[in-house]
Amino acid sequence: MKVCGCYTALVTPFRGGQVDYEAFANLIEQQIAGGVAGIVPVGTSGESPTLSMKEHDEVVAFAIEKVAHRCQVIAGTGGNATSEAVQLSMHAAKMGADATLQVTPYYNKPTPEGMYRHFSTVAEKSGIPIVLYNVPGRTGKEIPIDVIARFNGNPLVAAVKEAGGSVERVNAIKDVCDIPVLSGDDSLTLPMLSVGAVGVISVASNLLPREVSDMVAKALAGDYAGALAIHRRLYPLYRDLFIESNPIPVKAALADMGLIAEEYRLPLCEMAPANREKLRNTMRRCGILR
């Protein structure tokens, strides 16, 4: 599986306490129309911690069916128990996912050897490629570079999503292996592309799939001036979509655009009024709201 371009970490819309599949289908269509390389359902932005196992499987299956091979689907199926990640990943593989996103096991803080065995087991048992997801701010542990390097040449490891807030991590990964790197931070996408990343798993592209896709495409084509112009215009949005815990701001923004109901599941809740107004002002500045 070749990984390259803009992938949207798609939100999971709710209405009346249930997954709103009508809104979800519309979001998927807008992403495809916006030219994204793929979508990532049921990741962090998809509120995976608050979905039941049944809902998780249903959302993944729905996304794959709706996409119908028009773009790639990287299903978020990670977990801190290897058995749970295997179960979710096998279902995603059965439904036709192109790959799965595997977060660093959180809370139990495995050793490097434990991480290697965890990722290896998920990939081998599901039989489809995995994307390693390094996000120490949420998991408490980063994936060591030498663990990533052990997967070099393994066809079941498609990429690394690097969300540790460091461009240097991209340099370090590319120094020891050929595994593709995807930015996991919208504001660092352009700098990461400049040192060898091949794309992004983006939150901002929930709102602006065409613009984020164009920024990545320009950078990959060597048009860094064009990419920088888009980056500068969207930077305030990149910043303020994380003014509170993701995916609270992006769901609030999508609600303001009339695309979803503004509904969360505890422990997530609505934005503080001052932050909400700041985000709206940024959306106006970026031309999303009038």
Sequence spans of domains, the chain: 5-221
> What pLDDT does residue 153 have?
95
When the candidates are 3.20.20.70, 3.30.70.360, 3.50.50.60, 3.40.50.300, the CATH number that belongs to 5-221 is: 3.20.20.70
At 277, the amino acid letter reads E
Structure confidence at residue 29 (pLDDT):
98
146 burial level (CB within 10 Å; 0-12, 13-18, 19+): exposed
Q: How far apart are CA 228 and CA 163, in angstroms?
A: 20
Query: Residue 100: its pLDDT value, please?
Result: 98
Nearest to 79 by CA among 103, 101, 61: 103
Sorted by sequence, the CB contacts under 8 Å of residue 79 that are 6+ apart come out as 85, 88, 103, 105
Instruction: Determine which one of 7, 66, 116, 161 is catalytic.
Output: 161
pLDDT at 134: 97
**pLDDT (0 to 100) of residue 127:** 97
Q: What are 116-153's pLDDT values in tens digits?
A: 999 999 999 999 999 999 999 888 899 999 999 999 99
Q: Please state the φ and ψ torsions of residue 192, each to the nearest 5 degrees.
A: -65, -40
- Known catalytic residue: 133? yes
Mean pLDDT of 242-261: 97
Q: What percent of the chain has pLDDT over 90?
A: 97
The CB-based long-range contact list for 211-214 (8 Å cut-off, 24+ gap) reads 212/6, 212/36, 212/186, 213/5, 213/6, 213/34, 213/35, 213/36, 213/37, 214/35
Query: Active site includes 21?
Result: no
Q: Is residue 231's pLDDT more than 90?
A: yes
Angle in degrees, CA 152, 157, 161, rounded to 5: 100
Tell me the per-residue pLDDT of 40-56, one tens digit each, with 9 for 90 and over: 999 999 999 999 999 99
Q: What is the pLDDT of residue 204?
A: 98
Length of the chain: 290
- Strand 99-103, strand 72-76: pairing: parallel
Please measure the distance between the N-terminal and C-terminal CA atoms of the chain and give it in whole angstroms. Answer: 40
**Average per-residue pLDDT in the chain?**
97
Residue 10 has pLDDT above 90, yes or no: yes
Which whole number is the average pLDDT over 201-221?
A: 98
Which is the catalytic residue, given 7, 133, 238, 251?
Answer: 133
pLDDT at 220 over 90: yes
- With pLDDT > 70 as the criterion, what percentage of the chain qualifies? 100
The DSSP string of the chain is ----EEEEE----EETTEE-HHHHHHHHHHHHHTT-SEEETTSTTTTGGGS-HHHHHHHHHHHHHHHTTSSEEEEE---SSHHHHHHHHHHHHHHT-SEEEEEPPPSS---HHHHHHHHHHHHHHH-S-EEEEE-HHHHS-PPPHHHHHHTTT-TTEEEEEE-SS-HHHHHHHHHH----EEES-GGGHHHHHHTT--EEEESGGGT-HHHHHHHHHHHHTT-HHHHHHHHHHHHHHHHHTTSSSTTHHHHHHHHHTTSS-----TT--PPPHHHHHHHHHHHHHTTS--
What's the pLDDT at 290? 82
